[in-house]
Amino acid sequence: MNTQFQDRKDAGQRLAGLLGHYAHRDDVVVLALPRGGVAIAYEITRAIFAPLDVYLVRKVGVPGQKEMAMGAVASGGVTVRNEDIIASLRISEADFQAVADAERRELRRREEAYRPDRPPHALRDKTVLLVDDGLATGATMRAAIHAVRRLDPRGIVVCSPTGSAYACTELRREPSVDEVVCYTTPQPFHAVGQSYLSFPQCTDQEVRDLLARAERDFRPLPGIGVGPESRVNN
């Protein structure tokens, strides 16, 4: 199915329509992959009334070909390597580590920027909805899956408005993944941005603003699981 979204807000609202079975549950946490995934995830929290947090993952790109992932790094000291790419391009261990170290520094910077004084949500025994704004190769999402699995969640659900058929198929084969929810899989798939009429780069400030709004507007209500303390109507 080929669908074009107006923007990330539209994409998040449409994706949320496929996630109604996770609504009003006190065992669900929505984790967004910054930056673009946060705008998608915020719309999901509006629809299903679940807490929102970020999970930081950085792609480790091939030197000179940044869009090609030879691995990824994630919060908690997790490193995922694409050994096929590393071997086929004869990438040295020193070159891999140099790029990985640079991405770890950026990951730490974002941790401090997005969560300066707030601890991450506990994920043990939770159903975690991992959200991004698109899945091209799936390498970044795979790193997040492997990292989150170490935190003993009850289940992991991959959520994205758009993705390549290859990425969605491969992620469904991940033993740690319970469900993959992808609204559209364009054929042919060239880039995530082809599914959006407006696809500007998100800023750190936009991420901070959305996290603050989610924390303010959606809080557990005693005795009835999770619900909105107030709702933003925009």
Q: Where are the domains of the chain?
A: 8-57+119-222
Helix (H) or strand (E) holding 68: strand 65-74
Sign of CA pseudo-dihedral 13, 14, 15, 21 = positive
Residue pLDDT, tens place only, 140-181: 898 899 889 988 999 999 999 999 999 999 999 999 999 999
3-state secondary structure of 180: strand
- Please, is 225 exposed, middle or buried when counting C-beta atoms within 10 Å of its C-beta (0-12, 13-18, 19+)? middle
Residue pLDDT, tens place only, 1-41: 678 999 999 999 999 999 999 999 999 999 999 999 999 99
Whether this prediction's pTM lies above 0.75 is answered by yes
8 A C-beta contact, residue 2 and residue 187:
yes
CATH topology of domain 8-57+119-222: Rossmann fold (3.40.50)
Tokens of 128: 């975690």
